[in-house]
Structure 1
């Protein structure tokens, strides 16, 4: 077999292997949130005490596609010169479960706080401008009429619904 044929065959096999590996792997961006465990078992075993179980979820922000400019009748420039950029992400979540030495009574062995990761949708600020000239009009023989320039700021938006659970009960 020629060396060029072997090189082509090696390149094809490499591409197939990379595609197969990419198909089986799940990227962190597809998950929405990345779990972050805090390993405290080693300290717990070495000190022989009950330590809290702690973990977190960190969201992965994803930028969306901005709305394109909208052309309006009677304006020379589009309505949104600088469009708002949507960014979807989330608020981080925390899971904490701590042992209690029967402080609240015999039936309470642990206290826990659970704040799951919640969706967060934002829109970046945008800008709307209008030129100091009007659109050409038939009354002025197709010439634009001077006017006052107009500028507007499109306000940013933030939407989320956070939640939390606090629990105390039996069990470790």
Structure 2
């Protein structure tokens, strides 16, 4: 094997290894369902000389799914769902807030907290069902019949189960 051929082969293998390494390191970040969002209030606490709440949030990353394929039914020229519904999954944003309390409620209560974790969200976009005024030809080889055109809108769907917790307790 010539020296130039070996050099080109080595460069190709090195480029492939670098591309695979970059993909391996990028996959976990791209696969995250939610992105944490901290709210830094340390500088404001120092400037104001008081304790401020600790706030953190989560922003979901929506992902689109694959629509269902066309469903052909007997007697119709167009598929059942002409414009299919597209599924999109994601989530509602989450929030975690802890506010220090200077023993307002007694000795054992040092903070008030609100915890609303990110909740899963599943949606379907609106779809469209159409049918032409021309019906399918008869089975005996006759001409197609005429009818009224049909149109329908497939309603969008939103499914989620949000939750939240409010409480007071010791420590921060």
Tell me if TM exceeds 0.5. yes
Residue deviations 1:33-67 (CA, integer Å, cap 9, x gap) = 11111112233244442111111010000000000
Question: How far 1:106 sits from its partner (Å)?
Answer: 2.0
Gaps of 5+ in 2: none
Which 10-residue stretch deviates more, 11-20 or 108-117?
Answer: 11-20
Q: 1:63 to 1:161 in 2, by over 3 A?
A: same
Q: Secondary structure at the match of 2:31?
A: helix
- 1:1-172 equivalences under 5 Å are 5-6=6-7, 8-138=9-139, 141-172=141-172
Q: What secondary structure sits across from 1:31 in the alignment? A: coil
Query: When the two structures are superposed, what TM-score results if normalisation uses the length of structure 1?
Result: 0.90
CA deviation after TM superposition for structure 1 residue 89, in Å: 0.4
Deviates more, 1:141-150 or 1:53-62: 141-150
Deviation at 1:25, TM superposition (A): 4.0
Q: Would the aligned equivalents of 1:28 and 1:34 in 2 still touch at CA under 8 Å?
A: no
> Partner of 2:136: helix, strand, or coil?
coil
Unpaired runs of 5+ in structure 1? Answer: none
Which TM-score applies when normalising by structure 2? 0.90
CA distance in 1, matches of 2:99, 2:44: 14
